[in-house]
Amino acid sequence: MFRPKLPDVPTLPTTAVTHQQTQAPVASAGRPVAPYVGIGAGAVGAVVVVGIVLTALLAAVAVSAVSVAIAAVVLRSLVNGAHKR
């Protein structure tokens, strides 16, 4: 009562119709694509690593510049304070 009833499978005709199609050869673009496909993962990894290194260097330069600027302001205020006394 609760089991589903599957429909009967229709029988297919036994004669198969085949269409013969001929494909024209594809013209070459002049340079092979295959050598560039295998480089993908390594090249992406190298670009990511170089980007991380360059970003870290830029951050280090920015932090150094800020610290030098703060040191210059402190030294200037000390020198100006010593001249006023």
- DSSP assignment string, the chain: --SPPPPPPPPPPSPPP------PPPPP-SS-SHHHHTTHHHHHHHHHHHHHHHHHHHHHHHHHHHHHHHHHHHHHHHHHHHHH-
Report how far apart, in Å, the C-alpha atoms of 19 and of each of 16, 22, 23, 32, 79 are. 10, 10, 13, 32, 96
Distance CA 59, CA 67 (A): 12
- pLDDT, residue 39, reads 65
- pLDDT, residue 40, reads 72
Mean pLDDT per 10-residue run, the chain (85 residues)? 75 68 64 60 87 97 97 93 70
- pLDDT, residue 76, reads 93
- pLDDT, residue 42, reads 81
